[in-house]
Structure 1
């Protein structure tokens, strides 16, 4: 299992080399993230020039926008920032889930947490039709499933020995719970009236058109990112040398529990904010690991920035390619993610 995380290169043993690599990669990704937000602000059915963008930005800084460019920037900037925090959250959740299960092919939805969110959101749309309650119901559904899984797998998560037995049990438990949630979702879709079916399907695919700018997703992302960076060395040990973690001074049982709860909270935040957007939490950590190695000191911030940038660009394509109509952003991420991930696997096989 260790070879899955070290197939391309081992962790850099020289601390200065790791810092030098991070100092080169992270500024580039940060510039790409800023660039993706700017592209999202100027592109659309009505494009903005950079001069109009500057004037619109001044309007936002000094008060409510009064011109068309200012109003467009207000809408697009809020949506772009929501897309960025959602993508970064999904990517960071994917990193943690892959470290927890010791499998780079795991993604934030593998344990069925998104299924719980879908049940809560779709039930609210179907039975109540209250848009303001959908996000809260999705978050509650995801947390409920996460707590259920935590309770069922608590004994295995707190174990201090090898993860070879606990990871498959946790994974199988999540698959069973996800299957049950999928059955409930299918039942609701089959009885939903046509007036609400379209909104339910768009939410399941993943859509940012109705998302709202909130501070809570940023707070959750910031807190868990700080925790992840402070424990990056321990996560390295958990992902690559879990059998010897206790001899290396890592409380592997406690770390597993925190990784699971952090990944579950991130997934709940992302799904409740934008629906079930696939492939971001899978391909971004895998691509960053493939490009720059499995060291979580670099992988955590790199995957977060890359995930946010990717989702902002995907959403920009979704709302401009057939403008004025808008596509669900989950369709774009899947259409890009499938060939990219297959290409990564092919290149990995050739390197091996």
Structure 2
């Protein structure tokens, strides 16, 4: 019986293949528990830190009272914790987890460890939709009444359909064709987005557009959490159910076929999932760089390439990373907030270079 894949096999024999399952240096279970505990601590800090410091005990008191259905106590602490900071902290965790999952799935999809979901051009389409909403006034219930997030997701769906049409061939999705179609369409949409930015009517509008394009969690609210709260856990469960297929896909189509995996069908499903999930994430947070690229690399370095372990750890580490980054963005400067994408780029570029240096031969 070959219903599982070898857990200790290194499968980096093909040019461009993503690293396959390899020897684990750290047990995944204890590491997952440690990341979950660190994430809970980071969420507590994220809610307690800010222009008004709130003790951690009071933070948990507000949360427990709200969850138990008690009436909120008078004062500002309840408003700050429940209405302002907690939705933002949870949004950071959900977006970080989603980006970690997107990066892991995308690298399996195209069998390239340098891939991330933005290769598909979906984030460019979402950005174009959001910028059009800001510049043309659609974000305030204009002609289409979409709102900013709705316009961004509509742009992502339109781009998904376009990339699907261009990349689709009778025999299925070839990884190289898919990447080239995504990059070409993404660059075209990026140019059109730049044109719209130049058409912004005033300086404040231009600042809003640029801030959104660099990633921002400042618009977090409880209603905004609904879509990622459903999409991210759903994507994790779906990917975990196909973890063995993802392992086989990284070994090449012939090996996958020998293990009973329909590579073309799995690629179609992965392309659809990563496109829709990327659209949801970009719609609520803007374009946040490097998280989807860096997180899978870091997790593979520790636990190897078996997706049964890699997927949940990538989600946890991505969530932790973005919560910590958002804390830095809110508190680093007294007078203004830093865009999330700026900080992730400053952290992600050197960290990724370090990880690549630790894994010679993982990228050819």
TM-score, normalised to structure 2, is 0.88
Tell me how far apart the structure 1 counterparts of residues 136 and 322 of structure 2 sit (CA, whole Å). 31
Tell me how far apart the structure 2 counterparts of residues 280 and 80 of structure 1 sit (CA, whole Å). 16
Structure 1 residue 55 displacement after superposition: 3.1
1:79-158 → structure 2 map (5 Å cutoff)? 79-128=88-137, 130-131=139-140, 133-155=147-169, 158=172
User: Could you give the per-residue CA deviations for residues 25-71 of structure 1, whole angstroms, max 9, x where no partner exists?
Assistant: 21112112111111101111221222322333344332345322222
Tell me if the contact between 1:55 and 1:70 (Cα under 8 Å) persists in the aligned partners. Answer: no
Range 186-195 or range 54-63, more displaced: 54-63
Tell me how far apart the structure 2 counterparts of residues 65 and 323 of structure 1 sit (CA, whole Å). 29
Tell me how far apart the structure 1 counterparts of residues 252 and 27 of structure 2 sit (CA, whole Å). 23
Cα 1:6–1:171 shift into 2, 3 Å: closer
Matched with 1:266 is 277
Matched with 1:2 is 12
Matched with 2:182 is 174
Matched with 2:43 is 37
Tell me if the contact between 1:45 and 1:324 (Cα under 8 Å) persists in the aligned partners. Answer: no
Tell me how far apart the structure 2 counterparts of residues 195 and 6 of structure 1 sit (CA, whole Å). 43
Tell me how far apart the structure 2 counterparts of residues 95 and 198 of structure 1 sit (CA, whole Å). 32
Number of residue pairs aligned between Structure 1 and Structure 2: 340
SS of the residue 2:333 aligns to: coil
Tell me how far apart the structure 1 counterparts of residues 28 and 171 of structure 2 sit (CA, whole Å). 31
Matched with 2:198 is 190
Tell me how far apart the structure 1 counterparts of residues 336 and 177 of structure 2 sit (CA, whole Å). 44
Q: Does 1:282 align with 2:290?
A: no
The correspondence for 1:254, drawn from 258, 265, 289, is 265
Tell me how far apart the structure 2 counterparts of residues 295 and 350 of structure 1 sit (CA, whole Å). 18
SS of the residue 2:281 aligns to: helix
Unmatched segments (≥5 aa) in structure 1: 160-165
Tell me how far apart the structure 1 counterparts of residues 171 and 134 of structure 2 sit (CA, whole Å). 35
Tell me if the contact between 1:113 and 1:268 (Cα under 8 Å) persists in the aligned partners. Answer: yes
Tell me if the contact between 2:134 and 2:209 (Cα under 8 Å) persists in the aligned partners. Answer: yes
Structure 1 residue 21 displacement after superposition: 2.7
Matched with 2:5 is none
Matched with 1:302 is 313
SS of the residue 1:130 aligns to: helix
The correspondence for 2:55, drawn from 38, 49, 54, is 49
Tell me how far apart the structure 2 counterparts of residues 29 and 333 of structure 1 sit (CA, whole Å). 19
Unmatched segments (≥5 aa) in structure 2: 1-10, 142-146
1:234-253 → structure 2 map (5 Å cutoff)? 234-253=245-264
Matched with 1:163 is none
Tell me how far apart the structure 2 counterparts of residues 296 and 100 of structure 1 sit (CA, whole Å). 13
Matched with 1:162 is none
Cα 1:24–1:332 shift into 2, 3 Å: same
**Whose helix fraction is larger, Structure 1's or Structure 2's?**
1
SS of the residue 2:50 aligns to: coil
Cα 1:245–1:216 shift into 2, 3 Å: same
Matched with 1:68 is 76
User: Could you give the per-residue CA deviations for residues 7-31 of structure 1, whole angstroms, max 9, x where no partner exists?
Assistant: 6x8446xxxx99x933222111211
